[in-house]
């Protein structure tokens, strides 16, 4: 076996019998090159919604665990159709459904949004899928579905087949996870909304996570939680070969990163409605730049706007006051000699983590005048004199 690919076919690819045949043909083409394959399949386009609608029409009080079992039937249907197509082409395909002895995805019992238990998945994959691959077979696995240690059927949330793919690629040590979609890769913006949107050839895991967190249909967000460092994810079009061009996503989110900015910073508070006045915000940026400063963070409301700035505090304050001079704001205040800390961690619940950090630090007598929440990260300010104590405390909170 030259290399091993985990290939995930989305529902928009498996939209008809012709679509299923096209998917099987692309897999056979790669299989004939001697590549080891594991296929992960979603339900046919629209099938999950139809199953959910039917279940709700029967009863609106159906237990969540029963709903998961019902809506997972779409993936089981796809497995049988894709495996049948492959067998008809001479490929030794094996159907892997939750009832199979070789079933690999073990999860908790959070129905509708279950989380894979990685160690259990690794063990199941080694015992079930790996021997099949080593014998030259092609497992065709239901995406989206899990099974708890108690044997209950679960689902991984919308788009969960991506999660299935990354878990199997991780457990098998695959060379690549290839996501076959109805688009040729990830675009710089939604091409249906932005005419000049263009294809992106490469994204770091962090960049892709940032896009996904604000609505871009790049990957299911759980993918970044489970993606290992060395695994490349390639997003390609259903119209091309499996080794075709597309968007490559590489790297991983940090397990834990607590970074302190190298210099003391100041917090500029501009009282007035700048968020409705882009000219005023631009004026602040220009004035800070003119004074040799650099804006590191920003948050605002109609009452005031806060700017985290690296620069001479007195010069920055005088420069920022230009928005008052121009009548775009009422007043400017500043706090100096602050430490700027950013915490990043894979799978971080940002708002909760930021609230916990602020509570812990203030409980130690440290004032935290500013917190900003991002995607899998948050930043905060506190006195520069408290920096080392804060780093130790944050390590205790998030390093355990």
Listed as own residue / partner, the contacts of 61-65 with beta carbons closer than 8 Å and 24 or more positions apart are 64/111, 64/112, 65/109, 65/111, 65/152, 65/153, 65/154
Residues 344/260, Cβ–Cβ less than 8 Å: no
Helix residue ranges, H only, 96-252: 118-127, 129-134, 160-172, 205-213, 222-226
Q: Helix 160-172 and helix 118-127: axis angle, to 10°?
A: 60
Residue 189 binned pLDDT confidence (cut-offs 50, 70, 90) = confident
The token pair at 62 is 């159906």
Classify residue 384 by its DSSP letter: G
Most confidently predicted of 55-59, 121-125, 312-316, 346-350? 121-125
User: Smallest Cα–Cα separation from 369: which of 341, 329, 328?
Assistant: 341
Mean pLDDT of the chain: 91
Phi-psi region of 194 (alpha: psi -120 to 50; beta: other; left: phi over 0): beta
C-alpha distances out from residue 158 to 48, 207, 330, Å: 10, 21, 47
Q: What is the pLDDT of residue 193?
A: 86
Residues 38/7, Cβ–Cβ less than 8 Å: yes
Q: What is the pLDDT of residue 35?
A: 94
Residue 117: is its pLDDT beyond 60? yes
In DSSP notation, 247-287 reads EEEE----S-EEEE-SS-EEEEEEES--TT-HHHHHHHHHH
Of the listed ranges 10-14, 215-219, 315-319, 374-378, the least confidently predicted one is: 215-219
Residue 284: is its pLDDT beyond 60? yes
Over range 18-34, report the average pLDDT. Answer: 95
Residue 195 binned pLDDT confidence (cut-offs 50, 70, 90) = confident
Q: How many angstroms from the chain centroid is the CA of residue 170? A: 16
Return d(Cα 11, Cα 47) in angstroms, integer.
Answer: 8
Of the listed ranges 78-92, 96-110, 179-193, 203-217, the least confidently predicted one is: 203-217
The token pair at 149 is 């240690």
257-398: CATH topology is VC0802-like (3.30.2130)
Q: What is the pLDDT of residue 341?
A: 96
Tell which wins on pLDDT, 255 or 54. Answer: 54
Round to the nearest angstrom and report the end-to-end CA distance of the chain.
40
Residue for token pair 């002895």? 101
Residue 4: is its pLDDT beyond 90? yes
In DSSP notation, 65-128 reads HHHHHHHTHHHHHHHHHHHHHHHHTT--EEEE-TTSTT---BB-S-TTS--B-HHHHHHHHHHT
Residue 292 binned pLDDT confidence (cut-offs 50, 70, 90) = confident
Q: What is the pLDDT of residue 1?
A: 64
Domain 4-250 and domain 257-398, same fold? Reply is no
Residue 400: is its pLDDT beyond 60? no
HEC string of 288-345 equals HHHCCCEEEEEEECCCEEEEEEECCHHHHHHHHCHHHHCCCCCEEEEEEEEEEEEEEC
Q: What is the pLDDT of residue 360?
A: 93
Q: Structural domain boundaries of the chain?
A: 4-250, 257-398
Q: For 296-314, give one letter per residue: b (16+ CB within 10 A) or e.
A: bbbeeeeebbbbbbbbebe
Residue 346: is its pLDDT beyond 80? no
pLDDT tens string 68-98: 999 999 999 999 999 999 999 999 999 999 9
The token pair at 386 is 């408290």
Return d(Cα 324, Cα 314) in angstroms, integer.
Answer: 16
Class of domain 4-250: alpha beta
Q: What is the pLDDT of residue 191?
A: 81
Tell which wins on pLDDT, 394 or 347. Answer: 394
Beta bridge partners, 95, equal: 140
């Amino acid at each position: 076996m030259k290399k091993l690919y985990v290939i995930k076919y989305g529902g928009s690819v498996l939209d008809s019998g012709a679509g299923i045949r096209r998917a099987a043909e692309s897999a056979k083409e790669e299989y004939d090159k001697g590549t080891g394959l594991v296929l992960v399949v979603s339900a046919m386009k629209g099938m999950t919604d139809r199953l959910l609608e039917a279940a709700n029409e029967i009863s609106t009080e159906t237990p969540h665990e029963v709903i998961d079992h019902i809506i997972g039937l779409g993936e089981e249907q796809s497995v049988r159709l894709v495996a049948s197509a492959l067998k008809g082409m001479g490929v030794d395909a094996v159907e892997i459904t939750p009832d199979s002895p070789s079933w690999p995805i073990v999860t908790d019992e959070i129905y509708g949004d279950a989380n894979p238990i990685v160690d259990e998945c690794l063990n199941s994959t080694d015992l079930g899928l790996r021997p099949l691959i080593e014998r030259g077979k092609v497992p065709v696995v239901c995406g989206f579905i899990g099974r708890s240690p108690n044997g209950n059927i679960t689902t991984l949330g919308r788009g969960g087949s991506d999660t299935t793919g990354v878990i199997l690629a991780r457990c098998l040590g695959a060379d690549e996870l290839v996501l076959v979609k109805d688009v040729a890769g990830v675009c710089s913006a939604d091409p249906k909304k932005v005419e000049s949107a263009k294809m992106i050839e490469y994204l770091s895991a962090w960049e892709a996570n940032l896009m996904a967190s604000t609505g871009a249909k790049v990957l299911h967000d759980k993918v970044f939680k489970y993606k290992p460092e060395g695994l490349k994810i390639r997003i390609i079009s259903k119209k091309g070969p499996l080794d075709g061009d597309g968007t490559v996503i590489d790297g991983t989110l940090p397990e834990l990163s607590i970074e302190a900015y190298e210099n003391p910073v100041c917090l500029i508070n501009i009282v007035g409605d700048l968020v409705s006045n882009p000219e005023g915000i631009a004026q602040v940026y220009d004035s800070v730049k003119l004074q040799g400063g650099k804006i590191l963070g920003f948050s605002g409301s109609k009452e005031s706007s806060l700017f985290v700035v690296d620069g001479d505090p007195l010069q920055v304050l005088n420069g920022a006051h230009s928005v008052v001079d121009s009548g775009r704001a009422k007043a400017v205040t500043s706090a100096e000699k602050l430490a700027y800390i950013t915490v990043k961690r894979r799978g971080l619940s940002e708002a909760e983590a930021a609230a916990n950090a602020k509570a812990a630090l203030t409980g130690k007598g440290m004032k935290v005048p500013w917190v900003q929440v991002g995607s899998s990260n948050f930043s905060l300010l506190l006195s520069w004199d408290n920096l080392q104590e804060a780093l130790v405390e944050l390590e205790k909170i998030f390093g355990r």
